[in-house]
Each structure stands twice: as structure tokens, then as C-alpha cells.
């Protein structure tokens, strides 16, 4: 499981997973595999990739079955960059991951998993126990990035500007809902109500009055025992990619444009409902502030490798840090790769750099 000079680096690409973002992960994996299997004049530093799909119940599929799932049975020539494994490893749980890694002689893991059970420190902890290099944030940064309340506490400690918010527990909501509603009243309306530990806009509601607040809190409580209630601001939504370990760099600033009331799950993942503008139309001072705050947010949670930091820019020019995503969407058309494409990294070079950073951060 060590890197050698005589053969290309072998990357285990973990994808799918148990979260609601299962299909998003498969789409990201499809882009990575396609990029690394494209024939190129210079393939000396291009890693080989073994895809392993984790299904919605936590089972592992073989590399052969995984490639078929990810590529939707398309006829893509599997030259040196795409390996296959025996079907005997199909449908084994994550407890067998160590055995599988040894059989496949893996050098590094790319946990291209979004949401709970993959982006929250769970898989990262397993990989650290196995003493394997892996792409992206470690246990603490992954957990902080997934849990919105813990993330906001880290941002507050770092002095980063944020919208007003309060925490609610499912227990308090079920025990004394009237008291919770009263405690939230200083925030005013409109509000956003979100499960604290869930990704991709799942379970999020925008509320305009007390009646809809009751419904929104009830919905969020079905997803998580901890809920975050935020002041809603009328603002542009900006995003910055961060790349690196000890000396991270910030990408150009991008903007998400959409016509829906807010950037919900349907808008985020439906074709033609959201548009990316890179670079965002901003003055130099705001651009510089946004990129600086992105690096501050990255360092506040102790991230490494990659992250996307999201912002609100109000019509009065106030900039708020919204959140950090430690394993952002990674398709060819996702914001994170597009931001770095604007900075001069093509998609395949970005993957190669992330693998290098994984080895660099491994102790």
C-alpha cells in the first residue's frame, strides 16, 4: 500500500454512500473516472483509479460492478487508469475495507462522499485507523464542516462575520414548543430553519411567519436532533474554492444565480435552474475580502486539501460567511472545479494536485 516510483499511484475512489447525496457522489465519481481515463500524450503522473461504490445500506461493490454502476454501463475503454477487481468482493460492508485495500494494493483514498457517513469524519476516522493517505479534510474539520452549529461556533471563535442565529434541540421543541417560538422571536422574519447535521439543502425551510415556523421546526426535527434557525438576509450568494494544506490558496470568486426563492435541493440539482458566474461581478475590495475570509474559514475548522466556502453579500455591501463544504460537488460542471479552472487548473490537473496534497498531509 505504498507509493513506488515504478508504477502509477493507485487511488481508491470511494463514492455513493448512505446519505441523500448518494447520486450526487456517483455523478462526481463519473467525472473523475472519465477525466482520468482520457487518452493523453503525457500520462506519466496520472494516477490509476479503482472505483468502489458504497450503496445506500453501507455495502461495498467490487471495482468491476462499481465501474458499471458509475459509468451507467457506457462503453468507456478501461485502459491503465481504470482497474477491475474480482466480483467476490461485491456486497461486503465497510468492515471489510481494510482487506479490500490490501488486495487492490491501494496507495491513497479519495473519499468522494457527500453528506453524513462520508463527509462528516466517519470515513476519515476509519482511513486514519488504517494509516492510509486520503484526499480532503481530517476528522475534526470534516465533522465541523458537516455540523452547522459546531461550524458556526468555530467561525465565531475566529471572529468571522455571520448572520444572527439560534440553536434549537428536538427535545426542547417537543417538550415546550411555545417557549422555543418565544425564544426565537428576536430573530424576526424571514428565517431559515435547517437540520444542523445534514447537507445539500435537505430539510431546509424558509419561513415568513410564526405559523410556517412551527411547520419548519417540525420538519427539521425529523432529520436531526439539533436544529439551527438563522436570520434570512436578501443577498447575493458567492463561493470561493480553497486548495492546499498548510499554505492554502483561494480561487477566484464565483456567484450562484437562480430564480427560485432560495437555493434549495431542487434548484441545486435540477438542470438549468441555477447558473454559475465566474468571476463574480464584484469590485476589487469585495473580491479580496471574500478570498481572505475563505482562507480564514478554512483555517478556522482546520481543513486541508480542498473546501468550498459560501458567502452572503447584502445589497448594503455586508459580507457574511455562510458555511464551508469540505467535500464539495466534483463534477465537471460543479462550482469547485469551475472556480479552479478559472484559476488555470484543468479538471485532471486538479485531481492530480489533490492526490499530491493527500500524500503531503499524511503523517
The conformation of residue 46, written as its DSSP 8-state character, comes to P
Is 336 part of a structural domain of the chain? yes
199, 243: one domain: no
Is 352 part of a structural domain of the chain? no
Is 140 part of a structural domain of the chain? no
**Tell me, what's the pLDDT at 102?**
84
**Tell me, what's the pLDDT at 83?**
45
301, 313: one domain: yes
**Structural domain of residue 124, as residue ranges?**
10-134
183, 227: one domain: yes
Which regions of the chain are under pLDDT 50?
A: 1-5, 41, 73-89, 263, 267, 269-270
Is 42 part of a structural domain of the chain? yes
**Tell me, what's the pLDDT at 57?**
84
Is 217 part of a structural domain of the chain? yes
The CA distance from 98 to 256, in Å, is 40
The CA distance from 278 to 254, in Å, is 5
Structure-block grid coordinates of residue 47 = 494516477
- CATH, residue 211: 3.30.1490.20
**Tell me, what's the pLDDT at 160?**
98
185, 318: one domain: no
193, 243: one domain: no
155, 109: one domain: no
The DSSP result for 199-215, as a single string, is -TTTT-EEESSHHHHHH
Residue 256 near residue 313 (C-beta atoms within 8 A):
no
151, 171: one domain: no
46, 118: one domain: yes
Residue 126 near residue 93 (C-beta atoms within 8 A):
no
**Tell me, what's the pLDDT at 56?**
87
324, 180: one domain: no
157, 286: one domain: yes
| Burial of residue 327 (number of CB atoms within 10 Å: 0-12, 13-18, 19+) | buried
The CA distance from 144 to 348, in Å, is 28
**Tell me, what's the pLDDT at 82?**
47
Q: Where would I find the beta strands (DSSP E) of the chain? A: 10-16, 48-54, 59-60, 92-93, 108-111, 165-169, 191-195, 205-207, 226-231, 235-244, 249-258, 274-277, 305-314, 319-325
Whole-number Cα distances in Å, 159 to 300, 306, 321: 9, 22, 11
125, 191: one domain: no
Alpha helices in 54-188 (DSSP H): 63-70, 97-104, 122-129, 139-146, 148-157, 170-175, 177-184
312, 186: one domain: no
Give the orientation angle of helix 22-37 with respect to helix 347-361, to 10 degrees: 100
Residue 306 near residue 249 (C-beta atoms within 8 A):
no
Residue 21's Cβ-side half-sphere holds a number of Cα atoms within 13 Å equal to: 27
Is 238 part of a structural domain of the chain? yes
Contacts with 175 (C-beta within 8 Å, 6 or more apart), sequence order: none
Residue 352 near residue 8 (C-beta atoms within 8 A):
no
**Per the structure, how many domains does the chain have?**
3
Is 358 part of a structural domain of the chain? no
Amino acid at each position: 500500500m505504498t507509493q513506488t516510483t515504478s508504477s502509477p499511484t493507485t487511488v481508491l475512489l470511494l463514492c455513493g454512500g448512505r446519505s441523500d447525496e448518494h447520486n450526487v457522489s456517483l455523478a462526481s465519481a463519473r467525472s473523475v473516472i472519465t477525466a482520468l481515463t482520457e487518452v493523453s500524450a503525457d500520462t506519466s503522473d496520472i494516477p490509476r483509479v479503482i472505483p468502489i461504490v458504497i450503496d445506500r445500506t453501507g455495502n461495498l461493490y467490487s471495482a468491476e460492478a462499481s465501474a458499471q454502476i458509475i459509468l451507467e454501463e457506457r462503453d468507456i475503454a478501461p485502459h491503465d487508469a481504470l482497474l477491475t477487481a474480482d466480483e467476490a468482493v461485491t456486497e461486503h460492508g465497510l468492515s471489510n475495507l481494510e482487506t479490500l485495500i490490501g488486495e487492490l494494493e491501494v496507495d491513497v483514498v479519495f473519499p468522494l462522499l457527500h453528506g453524513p457517513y462520508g463527509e462528516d469524519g466517519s470515513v476519515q476516522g476509519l482511513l486514519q485507523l488504517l494509516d492510509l493517505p486520503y484526499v480532503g479534510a481530517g476528522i475534526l474539520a470534516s465533522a465541523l464542516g458537516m455540523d452547522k452549529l459546531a461550524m458556526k461556533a468555530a467561525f465565531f471563535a475566529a471572529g468571522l462575520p455571520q448572520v444572527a442565529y439560534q440553536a434549537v434541540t428536538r427535545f426542547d421543541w417537543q417538550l415546550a414548543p411555545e417557549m422555543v417560538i418565544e425564544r426565537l422571536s428576536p430573530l424576526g422574519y424571514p428565517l431559515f430553519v435547517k437540520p444542523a447535521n445534514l447537507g445539500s439543502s435537505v430539510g431546509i425551510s424558509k419561513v415568513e411567519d410564526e405559523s410556517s415556523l412551527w411547520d419548519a421546526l417540525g420538519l427539521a426535527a425529523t432529520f436531526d436532533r439539533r436544529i439551527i434557525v438563522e436570520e434570512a438576509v436578501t443577498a447575493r450568494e458567492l463561493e470561493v474554492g480553497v486548495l492546499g494544506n498548510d499554505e492554502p490558496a483561494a480561487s477566484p470568486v464565483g456567484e450562484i444565480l437562480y430564480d427560485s426563492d432560495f437555493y434549495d435541493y431542487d434548484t441545486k440539482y435540477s438542470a438549468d435552474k441555477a447558473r454559475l458566474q465566474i468571476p463574480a461581478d464584484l469590485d476589487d475590495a469585495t473580491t479580496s475580502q471574500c478570498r481572505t475570509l475563505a482562507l480564514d474559514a478554512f483555517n478556522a475548522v482546520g481543513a486541508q486539501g480542498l473546501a468550498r466556502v459560501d458567502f452572503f453579500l447584502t445589497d448594503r455591501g455586508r459580507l457574511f460567511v455562510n458555511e464551508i463544504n469540505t467535500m464539495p460537488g466534483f463534477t465537471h460542471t460543479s462550482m469547485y472545479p469551475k472556480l479552479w479552472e478559472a484559476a488555470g487548473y484543468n479538471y485532471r490537473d486538479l485531481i492530480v494536485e489533490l492526490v499530491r496534497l493527500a500524500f503531503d498531509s499524511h503523517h
